[in-house]
Amino acid sequence: MTTLSPPSSIELVEVAPRDGFQSIRDRLPTADKQRCIQALLNAGVTRLEIGSFVSPKAIPQMADTGQLVEAFANRPEVRFSALVPNLKGAELALEHGIREIVYVISVSETHNQSNVRRSTTDSLQELRRVIERVRQIEGSRLRLDLGTSFDCPFEGTISWQQVDRILSSALALIGDLPLEIALCDTTGRATPYQVADYFTQLRERHARVGVNWAFHGHDTFGMGVANALFAISHGATAVDTACAGLGGCPFAPGATGNTATEDLLYALHGGGITTGIDLSKLLEAADMIAALPGGQTASHLRQVPRQRVS
C-alpha cells in the first residue's frame, strides 16, 4: 500500500446544509438555515453543498434550496454546489445559479432504487442528459457522488470492482468535463484500510487530467476521522464533513451524521495541513447548528473545554 506524503492543503466541503438539515424531521425556517450558512462562511468555509434539488414531496426539508442559493448569490468566491438526482434537478440548480452539480448514483443497485427510484442503468442514462446540460452552461462543472461505494445497508460490503464498473461507465460519458469523483461511505461502515485500498485501486485505473477525488464519510462506526485521513493519504484532495456532526436519523438509533468538520479540521491543522477555515469561528457555527430544534449532533471538539482547542 503506497502512502502519499501529507498534502499542504485540503478542501473541506461543508455538507451540513444538505446532509445535515435534511436529517431534521421538521422543516427548519429558511432564515435559520441562512444564519447557519452565514456563520459557516464567516469561519472561512470555501466549499459548501447548500442543498438539493429534489421533489419537495420526497424531501420537504430541501424545498427552499433555490431561495438559499439566491440569498448567497453575492458570494462568488465560495464554491456552492447542490445535489441532484436527475435532469430536472440539474436544470433547476443551474437556473438558480449553481455552477457545481453534484449528481448522485449509488453503486448498489438496491440502494439506488431506494434512493432515486431507478436502476443504475437508468441513472447513467440520466447522467448523459445532465452532462449535456452542464456542457451548455459556461463555467459549470460536475461532481459525481458514488453512493454506497464501500457498504450498502441492504447488500452489505461493496467491492471496489463494483465501484469500478459504475465509474467506468460514467467516465465514458463524462469525457473531458472537469470532474470531482466522490467515493461515499453512505453508512459509515467502511474501515480505514478499505478506504485506502479503494482509492489506490480506482485512482490507478482512472488517472486522468482534470479529475479530482473526494471522500464523503459518516462517523457512525467511529471511523470518520481515520477514514478521511486514510483517503487523504491515498489521493483524496477534498473531504465532505458536516459542522457539529449534524445528521443521523431520528428513527435509527446509533446512526450519526457526517464526520464533524471541526473534528477533521483539528486533525488536519495538527499536521500543518491548511483548510482556510478558522477553528474557533467554526466552533461558534457548530454551537449555532447544535442549538437548532430537532437536530442531532455528534462532535468531539464541541465537548472539549474551548480554551483547550487551538
Q: Verify binding: residue 112, its own copies, rule CB under 8 A.
A: no
Q: Verify binding: residue 189, its own copies, rule CB under 8 A.
A: yes
One of 12, 146, 292, 301 touching its own copies (CB under 8 A): 301
One of 48, 90, 127, 223 touching its own copies (CB under 8 A): 223
Q: Verify binding: residue 3, its own copies, rule CB under 8 A.
A: yes
Nearest-angstrom CA–CA distance, 21 and 13: 15
Which residue's CB is nearer to its own copies, number 15 or number 229? 229
Nearest-angstrom CA–CA distance, 13 and 39: 15
DSSP string, 155-198: TEE--HHHHHHHHHHHHHHHTTS-EEEEEE-TTS---HHHHHHH
Residue range at the interface with its own copies (CB under 8 A); choices 84-92, 114-122, 200-208, 271-279: 271-279
118: cell is: 431507478
Q: Verify binding: residue 221, its own copies, rule CB under 8 A.
A: yes
**Reduced to 3 DSSP states, what percent helix, strand and coil does the chain have, rounded to the nearest 5?**
45, 20, 35
Q: Verify binding: residue 13, its own copies, rule CB under 8 A.
A: no
Could you tell me if 236 and 200 are in contact, meaning their C-beta atoms sit under 8 angstroms apart? no
DSSP string, 244-305: GG-EEETTEEEEEEBPBHHHHHHHHHHTT-B-S--HHHHHHHHHHHHTSTT-----SGGGS-
Nearest-angstrom CA–CA distance, 161 and 290: 39
One of 56, 175, 271, 276 touching its own copies (CB under 8 A): 271
One-letter amino acid at 304 equals V
One of 220, 258, 261, 275 touching its own copies (CB under 8 A): 220
Q: Which of residues 148-187 bind its own copies (CB under 8 A)?
A: 187
One of 38, 191, 201, 237 touching its own copies (CB under 8 A): 191
DSSP label at residue 102: E
Which residue's CB is nearer to its own copies, number 172 or number 304? 304
Closest separation between CB of residue 19 and its own copies, Å?
18
Q: What amino acid positions are annotated as catalytic residues?
A: 249
Could you tell me if 220 and 254 are in contact, meaning their C-beta atoms sit under 8 angstroms apart? yes
Q: Verify binding: residue 260, its own copies, rule CB under 8 A.
A: yes
Which residue's CB is nearer to its own copies, number 82 or number 195? 195
Residue range at the interface with its own copies (CB under 8 A); choices 60-68, 226-234, 276-284, 289-297: 226-234
One of 117, 132, 175, 193 touching its own copies (CB under 8 A): 193
Residue 32: CB partners within 8 Å, gap ≥ 6?
A: 292
One of 139, 209, 270, 293 touching its own copies (CB under 8 A): 270
Catalog residues that contact its own copies under the rule CB under 8 A.
1, 3, 5-6, 187, 189-194, 219-226, 229-230, 233, 253-254, 256, 260, 263, 266-267, 269-273, 299-301, 303-305, 308
